[in-house]
Amino acid sequence: MSLNQNRSDFFRLLLLGTIGAIAILPYAMAIQRSVEFTPQLMIIAAAQGIILAAVAIFVGMRASRSLGTTIWSESTRFPAAILLGAGIGVLVLLLEIVVFAPHLPETLSAVGGAIHIAPWKGFLAGFYGGINEELMMRFFMLTGLLWITTRFWHTPEGGAATPAFWIVNILISVLFGLGHLPAIQAVTDITPFLAIRSIVLNLGPGVVFGWIYWKWGLSAAMVSHFSTDMVLHVLSPWLTRIVVDTGSGLY
């Protein structure tokens, strides 16, 4: 790959990361109501997100060249990635409703929490999830840890061993779940139940996104993650609001 291509890929990914770092701000303001988001704080928050994205891209590009992973997926992969992402979102939503919702504090329940966040804010937050979280969790952490693992565990050809990929993929997915705890802590106190919930609800999606990245490329994982977030942060609150407004008593 030429130097010009590397630079082009870096700045294209950084542009996407910048969009995500800015797009998350309205959602962050909605869930962290106790924090006064001054213009200075918003600039700092966006700048922090952009810097983290730049570091993730730099490391990810170096490690991915060694592992042979793809950044820009074939367009034919996107429909399947979208369907997988939407399906994962529905499964996570059902698991939340059936298993966890009855035991959640009011501030995290569908009625007490997400329903009060405008769907357009959830839509914008999807760009951060789809772009920045994939840059951090898959392109940076999964690729980086797997590259380190191949130093002592690899195929005869020097590539990443399949068991190593799955171990690292699952580990990163657990960390992906734990990474959501700060957002929960902004709303309520963290309990063992909430920590387990965060891991369980994010483990499956994280593993699938990791597999999509490994097989189809980073941009397909981004699209799939975005589709999941559309179900969880746009469709779910919108439907919940309709249910509550019509007084069906679902919640």
Residues in the chain: 251
pLDDT, position 226: 98
pTM above 0.85, yes or no: yes
The pLDDT value recorded for residue 180 is: 82
- CA 210 to each of CA 92, 139, 178: distance values in angstroms, whole numbers, following the listed order: 17, 9, 16
Residue-level pLDDT at 248: 37
* Burial group, residue 9, by CB count within 10 angstroms (0-12, 13-18, 19+): middle
User: Which parts of the chain register pLDDT below 70?
Assistant: 1-2, 107-116, 240-251
With b for 16 or more beta-carbon neighbours within 10 A and e for fewer, the 139-162 pattern comes to bbbbbbbbbebbeeeeeeeeebee
Look at residue 246 in the predicted model and tell me its pLDDT.
46
Contacts of 151 (CB under 8 A, 6+ apart): none
Q: Residue 242's pLDDT is what? A: 58
CA dist., res. 29 & res. 144, Å (int): 32
Q: Please tell me the predicted confidence (pLDDT) of residue 82.
A: 98
Share of the chain above pLDDT 70, in %: 90
- pLDDT value of residue 249: 35
Q: What is the pLDDT of residues 153-210, one digit of tens each?
A: 998 888 899 999 999 999 999 999 998 888 787 777 888 999 999 999 999 999 999 9
